[in-house]
Amino acid sequence: MKTEQTRRTGPIRQVRRAALAAGVGAVLVGGVLLFVPDRSGGPAAPSPEARALAAVGAGAPAALPDLAALVRDREARVRDHPDDDGAWAVLGAAYVERGTGLGDPADYGKAEHALRRSLAVRPEDAGAAGGPGAGAASGADGKAKGAAPGGNPGALAGLGALANARHDYAAAKRWGESLRARRPAEWTAYPVLITAYRGLGDYTAAGKALTKLKDLRSDTPVLTRAAEVYRDRGWREDAEAKATEAVARAASPAEKTQALGTLGELAGQRGEHTEALGRYDAALAVTRDHAPALAGRARALAALGRTDEASRAYQSALSKQPNPEYALELGELYDSMGLDGDARTQYATLRARTGAAQRRGGVNEELVLARFEADHGDPQAAVLRMKSEWREGRRSMAVADALGWALYRAGQEREALPYAKKASEQGVRSALFAYHRGEIERSLGMAGAARRHIEEALRTDPHFSPLLVPRALDALDDLGEPAGGGPAQMDATAPPEAPTRVRKPGAPKASPSPSPKASASASASSGT
């Protein structure tokens, strides 16, 4: 039996080693595929690193154990061949993916070193001929066969993916646009650009990049990205259809897990938490201990009132991937359960992990820190964080919502409202965005608009937050029934301002609608 297995796998391993030596194949990083081989010519190789290459050849994410094997293989390759630019690019891309999957930002520094080493060996404006890492098999004359002329697209795409992983969307945009300018038909530029444009709040550009990507490819990862872009536009049915098709067309367990997770996220955002739980359970049945699916399952359980199970699911997710978002969500779940000490522990964990991510990996965690500070710490610190992000061009819906909410919590409601409107009027139906806008309007005396948006939040998802839903219900009680006058008064101008009052974090119940506070609305009007 052993002899037969050796006979079967020996030639495959030789082919796989030859392909790796030539730099053919790579790893998916945030949807970026480097040096994709043509898989039509032979059977899938059984080795872990070959499985990673086969997965990315189908446009799929690589499973973490297979990815680890690929990292080891490429590390050995560059030790023996330090001038192999393709091997360095693959290694850098693999580090990015591993760092993201494990929540270990230290891998990002390794990734940057590897990718910049690749560029040093083969600058972005260099010709295509040369070493074994150029992305195509070499002929007898030593020149790459069939390679497109010019540059180092693998390193450029990898650096763009690294910038996205660090939430440095402006840098990712520069890398992606540089690659697109050199090679408009190089599909690896477009996933980088889609993520970057979404992070910067340029949803029109993200849609155009998706259209170009769909012209170049039509496989499952493209469908998953389409679902995300369509969700941003508020096209719920289209997003659901694309994600469902992605599940049906999945070519690997990792690919299917990702698509099922997207379906779970979409269901949860619609308030259909039983369906979301089923999607996440299905994802975990395919890939056990998948951290995003565990966290999604925790959200669904919390929404369904199964809080003890939810806390255990969050703890499991955090043990697999120490994501600060998960720590914030678990802390707020504990707050809603009256477990103040446990909540404080999670908030301290959040602070520690965001600090470590910045120090060890250069990761920008300003958004999650601002969300934390606004509700559980120093609202004015949250304002400063988000205003800095806004000035630097990071103007996504999430940043607009966080900035508006931080301003409200800091007692600057008039300045807050334009940002809340920007967050809630771009297409996506978010219960959280609607609730935040309603509370800001309530503080400004805009009772009709406030009632409408808080009711919209609860219609969209009656269980959108274990901490905030009770406050939303209290706010509606305080607002009472609509007054006469009809829709024309829904967005009536607020009465004159009263002195500023900074809101204390963590109040357990919404208070009656206060008088408007002093603000600095000029800067908000220029930012929206």
**Model confidence over 128-166: pLDDT tens digits?**
333 333 333 333 333 333 334 458 999 999 999 999 999
Give the span between the Cα atoms of 194 and 178, in whole angstroms: 14
> Do 422 and 203 contact (CB within 8 A), yes or no?
no
pLDDT for 52: 72
Give the span between the Cα atoms of 63 and 250, in whole angstroms: 14
**Structure confidence by residue, pLDDT tens digits, 32-51:** 444 444 444 445 444 888 77
Angle, vertex CA 113, rays to CA 108 and CA 119, nearest 5:
125
Cα torsion through 514, 518, 522, 527, rounded to 10: -50
Residue 498 DSSP code: B
Residue 23's nearest CA partner among 110, 177, 216, 152 is 152
With H, G, I as helix, E, B as strand and everything else as coil, classify residue 358: helix
> Do 118 and 131 contact (CB within 8 A), yes or no?
no
Q: Where are the domains of the chain?
A: 20-125+151-213, 365-482+490-527
The series of mean pLDDT values per 10 residues for the chain, 528 residues long, is: 41 40 43 43 61 56 87 95 94 92 95 97 64 33 38 92 97 98 94 97 98 94 96 97 97 91 98 99 97 99 98 98 97 98 98 95 98 98 98 98 99 99 94 99 98 98 98 97 58 42 40 35 37
Give the span between the Cα atoms of 18 and 35, in whole angstroms: 14
pLDDT for 53: 63
pLDDT for 499: 36
pLDDT for 475: 98
Tell me if domain 20-125+151-213 and domain 365-482+490-527 are identical in fold: yes
Q: Find the farthest-apart pair of alpha carbons in the chain and give their distance in angstroms, rounded.
A: 87
- The tokens describing 398, both together, are 């999430």
pTM for this one? 0.82
With H, G, I as helix, E, B as strand and everything else as coil, classify residue 201: coil
Looking at domain 20-125+151-213, its CATH superfamily turns out to be: Tetratricopeptide repeat domain (1.25.40.10)
The label of the residue with tokens 């992000």 reads 389
Label residue 95 left, alpha or beta by phi (over 0 means left) and psi (-120 to 50 means alpha).
alpha
Q: Which residues of 11-47 are buried (b: 16+ CB within 10 A; e: fewer)?
A: ebeeebbebbbbbbbbbbbbbbbbbbbeeeeeeebeb
Burial grade of 508 (CB within 10 A; 0-12, 13-18, 19 or more): exposed
Where would I find the H helices in 103-152? 106-121
Number of Cα atoms under 13 Å in the Cβ half of residue 166: 26
pLDDT for 50: 73
* Residue type at position 106: A
Ranges of beta strands (E only) in 13-146 are 28-29, 32-33
Burial grade of 274 (CB within 10 A; 0-12, 13-18, 19 or more): exposed
CATH class of 365-482+490-527: mainly alpha
